[in-house]
Amino acid sequence: MLGAILALGTLLALLAPPASAATATCSPSPETACLSGTIRTAAGEPAVGVEISVTGPEETTAVTGADGRWAAEVTTGGEYAVAVDEATLPAGETLRNPADNPRTVVVTLGSSAGALFPLGEPAAPSPPADGGTDAPSEPAPGTGGGEPGLDTPTQGGSTGSSITWERVAQQALAGIVFGTLLALASVGLSLIFGTTGLSNFAHAEMVTLGGLAAFVFVQVVGLPLIPAAILAVAVGALAGWVQDAGMWKPLRKRRVGLTQQLIVTIGLAITAQYVFQFFFGGGSLRIVTANPTTVNLGPVFLTTQSLVGLVVGVLVLGAVAYFLVGTRTGRATRAVSDNPALAAASGIAVDRIIRLVWTVGGALAALGGVFLGLYFNATAWNMGATILLLMFAAVTLGGLGTAFGALVGSLVIGLVVELSNLVIPSDMRYAGALVILILVLLLRPQGILGRAERIG
């Protein structure tokens, strides 16, 4: 199986451009200094693809990544002017302090300096350009850590009097969209657990594979987005089929325990992540480079990409539900999930059903990766890993092994994640979802739609 993942990664890498040397990370040294910052929308979301120019003793540029961060390295100390290209801001966003663009920042070799560019309605002039605060060092890739010295309260989720019904509605709509896309990625994880009992930690890399495949087909091959998305889903389905045929079926035949298989999935996930990073680099990759347009729905708005993702997600999840309830193969899948031994005794080809579940699960994860890449306005080598805990939280919250539970759990997690921006900094929004998971497991261990089982 590892060879299959490497082969798929190599195939995409042959089509992929060389990894860019300019990423959203920078570490100062005695010979260099770093200018960095984080730009977030008025709703607290990362502003992706915003271009920043740095002029002074040296000239350089930077672009915000999937987490809204940007970083630029210089080798000469002195006074620099840092400016945001307002034409590259997300649709509907403006600088809160247009008069402070560009900002003047004093840089000293061996240190970092930050420049703040809050977005939102025009406000009073901001603090001095250099802010008097050095930016902290960049967190390790995949940690999801923020930059405390660079985020303002208005960027990271306001509290108190700033909460309005319009903002609640906007965040709730964002939660529904995010929950639907999370469900696409999580349903396959739940079905795999239901039919095999395996908690697949490498499932998140199937999400990443879908996003990276879409990037390659759109930006390298030059295909339109729709055919590229279809091909990315096909790549995910093929990867799921190869996983079961090349690794999991042989392990099942050898009666390898689930604990050992779980450890294998962890090793597979780590290996796949660094294969992706080796071939695609550590920076953000935009599937579609054009800034998305917005659609107004009364007091709230959505980007066209999010709206399409919501519609497609609902249709695909509806098709999965019909497959499980209204088709013979779907009923056989549920039977295998309930009791594999009894299903085999009833004449159901259990191995064939498991192979189908791995294939469909891979396709759904890849589709989720495509739309999450569009939702975040960028994909990256660790995109799936950043939402892995949310995926497990969703399937556990809804009820392990139940596809409908994964859907319900994903919607709950999506709403909690987005609505928590109203009261806590956005860098902590995933923590609220995990707290909800712990509370539900303490009060209802089987999850929302799971069935209580007697132990002992």
Mean pLDDT, the chain, rounded, equals: 80
User: Are 272 and 202 spatial neighbours (Cβ–Cβ below 8 Å)?
Assistant: yes
Task: Assess whether pLDDT exceeds 90 at residue 236.
Answer: yes
pLDDT digits (tens, 9 = 90+) for 414-425: 998 888 878 877
Task: Give the other-Cβ count within 10 Å of 27's Cβ.
Answer: 11
Q: Counting Cβ atoms within 10 Å, is residue 318 exposed (0-12), middle (13-18) or buried (19+)?
A: exposed
CB 49 within 8 A of CB 291: yes
8 Å CB contact between 103 and 55: no
Contact 366, 411 (CB under 8 A): no
Mean pLDDT of 213-240: 94
Residues forming beta bridges with residue 40, ordered by sequence position:
46
Confidence grade of residue 3 (pLDDT, cut at 50, 70, 90): low
Q: Which of 68-77, 344-353, 398-407 has the highest mean pLDDT?
A: 344-353
The label of the residue with tokens 């901001």 reads 126
- Checking if the pLDDT of 20 tops 90, the result is no
Confidence of residue 56 (pLDDT cuts 50, 70, 90): confident
Per-residue pLDDT, 203: 94
Question: Are the C-beta atoms of residues 90 and 291 closer than 8 Å to each other?
Answer: yes
| Poorest-pLDDT segment among 65-74, 189-198, 439-448 | 439-448
pTM over 0.95: no
Tokens of 326: 């209204």
Helix (H) or strand (E) holding 9: helix 2-15
* CATH tag for 24-156 (out of 3.40.50.300, 3.30.450.20, 2.60.40.10, 3.30.1490.20): 2.60.40.10
The confidence score (pLDDT) of residue 244 equals 93
* Long-range CB contact pairs, 122-131, < 8 A, 24+: 122/94, 122/96, 122/97, 122/98, 123/96, 123/97, 125/97, 125/99, 125/100, 126/96, 126/97, 126/100, 129/82, 129/100, 129/103, 129/104, 129/105, 130/104, 130/105, 130/106
Of 358 and 376, which is predicted with more confidence?
358
What is the per-residue pLDDT for 435?
Answer: 83
Look at residue 431 in the predicted model and tell me its pLDDT. Answer: 82
Query: What pLDDT score was predicted for residue 218?
Result: 94
pLDDT of 142: 35
Backbone angles phi, psi at 94, to 5 degrees: -135, 160
Helix axes 304-326, 165-196, angle to 10 degrees: 40
How does pLDDT run across 122-143, given as a tens digit for each residue?
Answer: 654 444 444 443 333 333 333 3
* Phi (first) and psi of residue 13, to 5 degrees: -65, -30
pLDDT above 90 as % of the chain: 32
Per-residue pLDDT for 150 more than 90?
A: no
Residue 254 dihedral angles phi and psi, to the nearest 5°: -85, 5
C-alpha span between 307 and 176 (Å, rounded):
11
Query: Residue 70 contacts by C-beta under 8 Å, 6 or more apart in sequence?
Result: 24, 36, 37, 38, 39, 50, 52, 62, 63, 64
pLDDT one-digit tens code per residue, 321-356: 999 998 999 999 989 988 888 888 888 899 999 999
pLDDT at 246 over 60: yes
Task: Tell me the three state secondary structure of residue 12.
Answer: helix
Residue 384 has pLDDT above 50, yes or no: yes
- Under the banding of pLDDT at 50, 70 and 90, the label for residue 448 is confident
Q: Which fold has domain 165-443?
A: ABC transporter involved in vitamin B12 uptake, BtuC (1.10.3470)
Q: The tokens of 152 are what?
A: 């303002």
The rounded percent of the chain whose pLDDT value lies above 70 is 82
CA 425 to chain centre: 18
* Mean pLDDT value across residues 276-288: 88
Condensed to tens digits (0 to 9), the pLDDT of residues 283-308 reads 888 898 876 778 888 788 888 888 99
Q: Is the peptide bond before 17 cis (omega within 30 degrees of 0)?
A: no
Order of strands, sheet of 51-55, starting from the edge strand that comes earlier in the sequence: 60-63, 51-55, 78-84, 103-107
One-letter amino acid of 412: V
- Greater model confidence, 186 or 339: 186
All CATH 1.10.3470 domain ranges in the chain, comma separated: 165-443
Tell me the C-alpha distance between 148 and 278, whole Å. Answer: 29
Q: CATH 2.60.40.10 residue ranges in the chain?
A: 24-156
Sequence letter at residue 221: V
